[in-house]
Structure 1
Amino acid sequence: MAKKKKVAILYGGRSVEHAVSVNSARNIFEFLDKSKFEPVAIGISKGGQWFLTEGVGKDIEKGKAVSLTLNPAKPSFTVIKSGDKFTVDILFPVLHGTDGEDGSIQGLIKAMDLPMVGTGVLGSSLSMNKIVAKRLLREAGLPVTDFLTFRYDEKDKISFNALSKKLGLPFMVKSASLGSSVGVTKVKTKKDFKAAVEEAFKYDDEMLAEEYITGRELECAVLGNNPPEASLPGEIVISKNYEFYTFDAKYVDPDAVRIDVPAKLSKPVAEKIRKASVKAFEALHCLDFSRIDLFLDKKGNIYINEINTIPGFTNSSMFPMMWKERGISFPDLITRLLNLAQERYDRGKRIERDFQSALKF
């Protein structure tokens, strides 16, 4: 019998999406195929300290504090109190938002030369920053909403009148590098504007204001590499009690949305969305898996809203639902992601990291 691979599930983190990460990781820990893999839960506290935990839960700091040996030839973890060491075969970051989805953790894992599920440093950082992502998507010929961007030092110069003239009313104000609708406000009047700007800059040094699209909110799951494939789109039908798809609508209120998987779309429109989703995935250098969020207006135009390189795996998350509709169960989906990561890591071994020259040093 083949030896089980140890899979370190990284969860929690220094992010406003900490609780979402815990819920996602709990499902991955539970549904991981235990006949092939051995899960190792490593929680990262809100303060940034790493702990080995019994399973996945919110009480991360009750675990055993660990450190990582900075040696890519033999990367290992050490339980600080006892000095016991342990190794893992592959890492699965289930960290949403800041420090988890922006390339930070990905860079650490790459430096340690360990296989890792998901998009690397470049794609993570590109996708996390909504401003950079929109510019690159637009450069790739993909449709995005009109938008304007601002730095924190420009905060007092931002003009409601100029924005409403350019973008129309209502418009959206967002922190540049957050997810789960944190730092996002729908601005309908000048009265809403100042609080919206304060909210956006509360979480980031950059904000964007963008056109509000009246239409349907769609998502498409992308899986694989060379080439990636897209699921059928799903639709999020939001209750009239909500102005848009807020954090509470996503994670707190069970009656806030109805999820249709697949979405009720004509075949040409569904195919258009699938092709655009794969193109967006490739344009932002994503790997293994991502969820692409889109809008469909009443005229049939689609707009790429954003890309989530570590989409949620909670009970209400669309990514696993969309693949379940395609016949891939939750355990099989996790196995496929781990295999994709290992294959990519093995393929990357062909790349030389030494250059022989006549240079003396």
Structure 2
Amino acid sequence: MQKIRVGVVRGGPSSEYDVSLRTGENVLRNLDRDKYIPIDLLLTKDGEWVMGGVQQSFSNIVPHLDVVWNALHGAYGEDGKIQQLFEKFGIPYTGSRALSSAIGMHKGLAKDRFVEYGLTVPHGDIVLEGANIADAAFEIYRNRQLPLVVKPVTGGSSIATTIVYSLEELGDAITLAAKYGDVLVEEFIAGQEATVCVIDGGVKGEFLVLYPIEIVPPSTKPFFDYETKYDGSTEEICPGRFTLATHSLLRDLAVKAHKSIDARHYSRTDFMISPKGIYTIEINTLPGLTSESLFPKALSAGRVEFSDFLEHVLSLSLTSNR
């Protein structure tokens, strides 16, 4: 049987460049060499394509590929832009399509879809890029109860995400997050953090939902921030220590979130479990697949080999209309 040539795209211009390198490295390492020819495709921070150590145009790379594994994270890789490039050249690729990616990446638009599907989300406000930060901060301070969570609307890996307890902190946090564009300011939901991974099944409309993961940041950190995501200090318990009813509800909500933006192949949705109910925080259409990432840990807990997951998603991407 002829081997399938898989171009693994990693790097990219976003602030999650280093995470993407590690995701791509893990994918490259675990592709079955009996079935696939892995091709390392580096997209530099400046937007240059490199294959085999040689810089070249994407149009010259395409004839060497049968399918692309999109291992990018954040801007350009997760917001629909690179998906449009793949579609322009007619190359199959893993992950959600362009529109679903754009919606999932934009926390405001995604929250609107969640609400349409009956999910509970934190109340919040968006500060548009270029707005007067002092005025915006004061207006939010007058109308919202502290503490508040401040983060970029289109960011990932909790980059520039802050919990604030005063007007001064609110202004500083908006300034920090505004470096990445529009800013989302929303109510802080206290409770247990959880995340759930969803994988499309072999039949459209069927899903494999992995065990919910309970996330316990170190006592010195109020939430699962960028540092604790990758330094090993956070306790990630899978299956999480939830009641059976909560396990079941989390899985149902994750499927609803996945369907609400028409996500494809796989996704991971973050939740907060509070006395007031379960809040859907955000969806990740290209969650990290590094050896330290949550998705591989959930696969392992469900006794799904990472290489089998890769093969399944590649099979879906090579199947028309999937």
TM-score (norm 2): 0.95
2:61 corresponds to which residue?
A: 77
| Corresponding letter in the other structure for 1:154 | A
Q: Does 1:210 align with 2:186?
A: yes
Q: Which residue of 2 aligns with 1:234?
A: 213
Contact 1:320 1:333 (8 Å CA) reproduced: no
- Aligned with residue 114 of structure 2, among 116, 122, 137: 137
Instruction: Please state if 1:93 is matched with 2:70.
Output: yes
1:325 equivalent among 301, 304, 320: 301
Conserved in 2, the CA contact under 8 Å of 1:14 and 1:45?
yes
| 3-state DSSP of counterpart to 2:86 | helix
What is residue 157 of structure 2 aligned with on the other side? 180
| Aligned partner (choices 207, 222, 234) of residue 257 of structure 1 | 234
**Cα 1:214–1:347, aligned 2, differ >3 Å: closer, same or farther?**
closer
Q: What is the deviation of 1:161?
A: 4.7
Shift of 1:153: 3.2
Among 176, 181, 187, the residue aligned to 1:199: 176
The aligned residue for residue 286 of structure 2 is 310
1:111-157 residue CA offsets vs partner (Å, 9 max, x unmatched): 11111111010110000000111112112211111111121232345
1:65 to 39, 50, 55: 55
Deviation (angstroms), 1:307: 0.7
SS at match of 1:236: strand
Q: Which has the higher contact order (CA 8 A, sep 6+)?
A: 2
Summarize the alignment of residues 1-361 of structure 1 with structure 2, pairs less than 5 Å apart.
Answer: 2-53=1-52, 63-69=53-59, 76-77=60-61, 86-156=63-133, 158-204=135-181, 206-224=182-200, 225-251=204-230, 253-254=231-232, 256-299=233-276, 301-343=277-319, 346-347=320-321
Amino acid at match of 1:227: E
Q: Quick one: which amino acid aligns to residue 231 of structure 1?
A: L
Alpha-carbon distance between aligned partners in 2 of 1:195 and 1:305, rounded to the nearest angstrom? 22
Highest CA radius of gyration, 1 or 2?
Answer: 1
SS at match of 2:280: strand
C-alpha distance in 1 between matches for 2:70 and 2:136: 40
Cα distance in structure 2, aligned partners of 1:135 and 1:317: 27
User: Do the aligned residues in 1 keep the contact of 2:48 with 2:55 (CA within 8 Å)?
Assistant: yes
Distance in 1 (CA, whole Å) between partners of 2:161 and 2:250 is 24
3-state secondary structure, aligned to 2:189:
coil
CA shift at 1:183, angstroms?
Answer: 2.1
Contact in 1 for aligned 2:10/2:71 (Cα 8 Å) = yes
Which residue identity is paired with 1:236?
A: I
Q: Which string of whole-angstrom CA distances, capped at 9 and with x for unpartnered residues, describes residues 27-81 of structure 1?
A: 110011111111000001111101014xxxxxxxxx2102122xxxxxx528xxx
**Structure 2 SS opposite 1:334:** helix
- Gaps of at least 5 residues in structure 2 are none
CA contact (8 A) 1:9 1:39 kept: yes
Whole-angstrom distance in 2 between the partners of 1:291 and 1:159:
31
Q: TM-score, normalised by structure 1?
A: 0.85
CA distance in 1, matches of 2:279, 2:158: 17
RMSD (CA atoms): 1.5
Q: Deviations over 1:286-314 (max 9, x none)?
A: 00001111110134x11111111111011
Which residue identity is paired with 2:48? Q
Q: Which amino acid aligns with 2:145?
A: G
Equivalent pair of 2:14/2:75 in contact (CA under 8 Å): yes
Q: Is the 8 A contact 2:134 2:171 kept in 1?
A: no
How far does residue 169 in structure 1 lie from its aligned partner after superposition?
1.2
Distance (Å, rounded) in 2 between the aligned partners of 1:284 and 1:201:
25
Q: What code does the residue aligned with 1:334 have?
A: L
